[in-house]
């Protein structure tokens, strides 16, 4: 698989509670990617047809389920087909949650289920602006959705039926990344966080933390020299591989592949085993300021 420094491999072959790996909170919180090369998400015979970009409605980037109701977004088709697609993606959400609570028992009762996304569109074919271009190394941070220190834990699985890997790059540590750009990031305009929230451009207040995270995301993607020459590893996730990381911490880029399914979980930084290794704590330490203001 390669990229052994950042990626830690585990032998699990089951999503269920009797799998061998548990209590690995410190590994994922330290900025590693946990990879399970023998943990496939099995599709029924009748679900194979969903591995086709025609189910994506072309407007949204992905097909997704929104919880708690689990409603299907971004898909087009007959109601019966869409119900079956919904059930397939919901099954992945359930499997992921079971796995997450086994790997990270400390998070029990604290992990909140975010969207589940199904990505039948080829990475290479997604036309995007530089800011939305996920083939550039980045940490996850979103203009309209300030996290206010809440962590983004993601469980990905390659469901490609033709042997094609999901090709990622992973980059430097969050601390090194913050040190690289923080000195050149200015303060937001006075009143801008209030204005963005009042106009409904952000779902909630863009804190100092969110300002820095978004700037790190944008600086990295806009910096061609960084993309080319910063420390990085290429990692291929073969079909049947599941991988887990805090995507707000691990520098990552998706270079190629098709047919992936992903579950996002939210976790408050205070519920980590080692809150000091979270982006919030690292940024507060480097800047010497509280950032949830
Ligand atoms: C990303 O999270 O940046 C993209 C991941 C992927 O599509 O493989
Ligand atoms: Fe990303």
Ligand 1 proximity of 254 Cβ (cutoff 6 Å)? yes
- Nearest-CA residue for ligand 1 atom 1 is 134
**pLDDT value for 253:** 98
DSSP bridge partners of 36: 242
State the SS3 of 1-44.
CCCCCCEEECCCCCCCCCCCCCCCHHHHHCCCEEEECCCCCCCC
Counting ligands in written order, which one lies closest to the CA of residue 123? 1
In CATH terms, the fold of domain 2-287 is Jelly Rolls (2.60.120)
- As a whole number of angstroms, the distance between CA 248 and CA 278 comes to 9
> Which atom of ligand 1 is found nearest the CA of 252?
3
DSSP state of 271: G
**pLDDT value for 293:** 82
Q: Tokens 């790190």 label which residue? A: 216
Reported as a single tens digit per residue, the pLDDT across 226-271 is 999 999 999 999 999 999 999 999 999 999 999 999 999 999 999 9
**How far does residue 289's CA lie from ligand 1's centre (Å)?**
31
Per DSSP, the three-state class of 56 is strand
- The radius of gyration of the chain's CA atoms, rounded to the nearest angstrom, is 19
- As a whole number of angstroms, the distance between CA 39 and CA 11 comes to 8
- As a whole number of angstroms, the distance between CA 97 and CA 237 comes to 21
In whole angstroms, what separates CA 148 from the centre of its chain?
16
Mean confidence (pLDDT) of the chain: 95
**How far does residue 244's CA lie from ligand 1's centre (Å)?**
12
Counting ligands in written order, which one lies closest to the CA of residue 141? 2
**Rounded mean pLDDT, 46-70:** 93
Residue 265 has φ and ψ, to the nearest 5°, of -125, 150
* Lowest-pLDDT choice from 49-58, 120-129, 248-257: 120-129
- As a whole number of angstroms, the distance between CA 35 and CA 39 comes to 9
**pLDDT value for 101:** 98
**pLDDT value for 126:** 72
**pLDDT value for 2:** 43
Reported as a single tens digit per residue, the pLDDT across 131-167 is 999 999 999 999 999 999 999 999 999 999 999 999 9
- Nearest-CA residue for ligand 1 atom 5 is 254
**With 90 as the cut, is the pLDDT of residue 207 above it?**
yes
**With 50 as the cut, is the pLDDT of residue 49 above it?**
yes
In the chain, the percentage of residues whose pLDDT exceeds 70 is 98
Confidence tier at 4 by pLDDT (50, 70, 90): low
DSSP state of 187: P
- Nearest-CA residue for ligand 1 atom 3 is 134
**With 60 as the cut, is the pLDDT of residue 1 above it?**
no
- As a whole number of angstroms, the distance between CA 168 and CA 41 comes to 19
**With 70 as the cut, is the pLDDT of residue 83 above it?**
yes
Residue 107 has φ and ψ, to the nearest 5°, of -90, 0
> Which atom of ligand 1 is found nearest the CA of 166?
8
Reported as a single tens digit per residue, the pLDDT across 164-195 is 999 999 999 999 999 999 999 988 988 999 99
Ligand 1 proximity of 97 Cβ (cutoff 6 Å)? no
Ligand 1 proximity of 259 Cβ (cutoff 6 Å)? no
In the chain, the percentage of residues whose pLDDT exceeds 90 is 92
Domain extent listing, the chain: 2-287
Ligand 1 proximity of 137 Cβ (cutoff 6 Å)? no
Counting ligands in written order, which one lies closest to the CA of residue 249? 2
**Rounded mean pLDDT, 198-214:** 95
**With 70 as the cut, is the pLDDT of residue 216 above it?**
yes
- As a whole number of angstroms, the distance between CA 267 and CA 113 comes to 9
**pLDDT value for 125:** 75
Per DSSP, the three-state class of 116 is strand
Helix axes 208-222, 174-181, angle to 10 degrees: 90
């Amino acid at each position: 698989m390669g990229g052994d420094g950042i990626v830690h491999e585990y032998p699990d072959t089951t999503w269920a509670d009797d799998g061998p790996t548990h209590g690995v909170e410190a590994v994922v919180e330290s900025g590693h990617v946990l990879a399970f090369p023998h943990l496939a998400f099995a599709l029924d015979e009748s679900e194979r047809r969903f591995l086709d970009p025609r189910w994506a409605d072309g407007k949204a980037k992905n097909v997704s389920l929104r919880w708690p109701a689990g409603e299907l977004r971004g898909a087009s088709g007959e109601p019966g087909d869409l119900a079956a697609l919904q059930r397939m993606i919901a099954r992945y959400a359930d499997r992921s949650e079971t796995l997450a609570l086994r790997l990270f028992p400390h998070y029990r009762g604290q992990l909140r289920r975010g969207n589940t996304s199904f990505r039948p569109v080829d990475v290479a074919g997604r036309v995007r602006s530089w800011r939305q271009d996920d083939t550039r190394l980045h940490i996850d941070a979103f203009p309209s959705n300030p996290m206010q220190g809440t962590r983004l834990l993601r469980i990905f699985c390659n469901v490609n039926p033709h042997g094609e890997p999901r090709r990622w790059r992973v980059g430097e540590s969050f601390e090194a990344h913050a040190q690289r750009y923080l000195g050149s990031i200015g303060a937001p305009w006075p009143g801008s966080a209030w204005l963005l929230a009042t106009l409904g451009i952000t779902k909630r207040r863009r804190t100092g933390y969110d300002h820095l995270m978004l700037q790190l995301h944008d600086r990295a993607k806009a910096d061609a020299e960084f993309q080319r020459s910063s420390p990085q590893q290429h990692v291929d996730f073969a079909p049947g591989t599941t991988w887990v990381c805090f995507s707000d911490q691990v520098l990552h880029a998706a270079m190629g592949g098709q047919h992936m399914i992903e579950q996002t979980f939210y976790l408050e930084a205070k519920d980590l085993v080692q809150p000091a290794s979270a982006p919030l704590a690292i940024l507060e330490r480097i800047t010497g300021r509280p950032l949830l203001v």
